[in-house]
Amino acid sequence: MKAVKCFQRSATKVILCTLACSLCLSVTTPAQTTVVKNVVIVHGAFADASGWQQVYAELTKHGYAVTLVQNPCTSLKADVEATNVALDKMSGPVILVGHSWGGTVITEAGLHERVAALVYVNGFQPEVGENTVKLASSAPAKPENGLLPPDEKGNIFYDEAKFHAGFCADVSQETADFMYASSGYIPAAAFETPVTQAAWKSKPTFGISSNGDKSINPIITLSGYKRSHSIVTQIDGSHVVFMTHPKEVAAVIMEAAKTVSK
């Protein structure tokens, strides 16, 4: 009988000890945190990733790991694939940024499992089934806009005579000349390809719209941002606001990261 009572007392002590340890762990173990410190940037048409150098410097100064996608601008599919390659190589959650045509790209690529939030910079933000042409023609073009009709091979170029005023009015003439010399082209078929998914429907979304954008009428970007319930920042700059206001653009990206960090 004594042995039974002794066993019962021992069992009770074990149970109480286990409960105490569990309570201790629940009180002292901090909640797991996820801090978003990765950024992937997708450039637009008639430009490349090098224009983002100052934004890159600002973000890395604050401890962010940044990848700039040199998307080929040959088709929506190719640009999405290039973006997915970059996303696959990032460790942890990512803020995905898209400028201009890059907005269409991140709309499609943004459902990648690593994407925590989207940032559109003067970016197209299409609905499922919409294409870039439809959005670009949804408001009157600015007189300075230099987008040319497709040539005999179906490629779209930017008019050299309008490039400075229409694309990058707030940079120097010297910089604009260099940018035009490296601007390239994009097939019209890319702009005509509809997106099959819209990441902004399920991911937190931020939008930057430049009041002085002459390449995409700000009515278009603001309308898209309203539809997606994006958190909007308006900056007094040109289409390439990331070049002339890098700190402000980087601040929006960092705010997106803080918003989705837990």
Query: Tell me, what's the pLDDT at 32?
Result: 53
Task: Evaluate whether residue 251 is within a structural domain.
Answer: yes
Report pLDDT digits (tens) over 35-68: 999 999 999 999 999 999 999 999 999 999 999 9
Query: Token match 């989705």: residue?
Result: 260
Q: Is residue 217 part of a domain?
A: yes
Q: What is the pLDDT of residue 30?
A: 44
Q: Mean pLDDT, the chain, as a whole number?
A: 91
Predicted confidence (pLDDT) per residue in 66-93, tens digit: 999 999 999 999 999 999 999 999 999 9
Does pLDDT of 205 surpass 90? Answer: yes
Residue 30 lies in a domain: no
Q: Please check whether residue 156 lies inside any domain of the structure.
A: no
Is residue 13 assigned to a domain?
no
Q: How many domains does the chain have?
A: 1
Residue pLDDT, tens place only, 165-182: 999 999 999 999 999 999
Element (H, E) at 248: helix 246-260
Tokens of 41: 């940037």
Residue keyed to tokens 């539809």: 227
User: Is residue 131 assigned to a domain?
Assistant: yes
115, β-bridge pairs: 94
Is 208 within a domain? yes
DSSP 234: E
Under 8 Å between Cβ of 95 and 252: no
Amino acid identity, position 247: K
DSSP letter at 50? G
CATH number for the domain harbouring residue 46: 3.40.50.1820
Residue 2, domain member (yes or no) = no
Percent of the chain with pLDDT over 90: 87
Where in the sequence is the domain holding 77, given as residue range(s)? 38-138+190-260
